[in-house]
Amino acid sequence: MRAKANNLLSLLLIILVSFFSACSDDYTPKPRGYHRIELPEHSYNKFDENCPFTFEYSKHSKLDYKRIDTNRNPCWMNILYPKFKARVYVSYFGEHVEDSLRQLTEDSRDLVMKHIVKANDIEESLITKREDDVYGISYDFKGSTASNYQFFITDSTDHYLHASLYFETAPKPDSIAPVEQFVKEDIEHFIRSFEWK
């Protein structure tokens, strides 16, 4: 009988110790999860309007001229990805840019260098399409930068185009990585399909 009472007392003691130790103030939060994003298949529309260039842009995006002074800069535009809260700013400079090409290129490089503080890496790639007289440089940013991708293209005499990708959210590389890759593939298609008129 005494052994039974000791066993019962031991069991009760274990339960009480477990109960009181389980009620501590230490809290370990669960890591934040992100929703899975279903990405559509890549498909493209052709841009061929009153500008001295053509290109193909994603059917999942739309062109926006609303926030731009189209009288002064008729070929400036934004390519919006409303579903992904992303925007590609496109700026075009024409009419004999040969004299200002060096300054435009330096301005583009300055925009890139502003992100060097936050970037883990910046991959720079040459753009060369001799058959279409298209030359330039693309910059792919790695890390928590405001802009994720930028490029400029020129024919070296008459035309210069600069574009940059921004997401309308705080830079969190892990959470936007799939969407960022999707939009970068669209931008690379933009560059491959780009032609001067």
List domains and CATH numbers for the chain. 52-196 (3.40.1000)
- Estimate to the nearest angstrom the gap between the alpha carbon of 112 and the chain centroid: 14
| Cα separation values, 55 from 116, 160, 195, Å | 30, 14, 6
**Tokens representing residue 159 in the block:** 């035309």
**pLDDT at res. 91:** 93
- Name the strand (E) or helix (H) holding 162: strand 160-167
Q: Where are the alpha helices (DSSP H) in the chain?
A: 2-22, 101-113, 173-193
Residues in CB range of 192: below 8 A, 6 or more apart: 129
CB-based burial label for 52 (10 Å; 0-12, 13-18, 19+)? middle
**pLDDT at res. 28:** 73
**Tokens representing residue 163 in the block:** 């574009």
Tens-digit pLDDT profile for residues 36-87: 788 999 999 999 988 999 999 999 999 997 666 666 678 899 999 999 999 9
**pLDDT at res. 50:** 87
**pLDDT at res. 196:** 95
pTM (2 d.p.): 0.77
Q: How far apart are CA 149 and CA 139, in angstroms?
A: 6
**pLDDT at res. 19:** 66
**pLDDT at res. 1:** 65
**pLDDT at res. 146:** 86
User: Residues 65, 67, 70, CA angle at the centre, nearest 5°?
Assistant: 55
pLDDT < 70: residue spans in the chain: 1-2, 5, 16-27, 33-34, 66-72, 96, 171
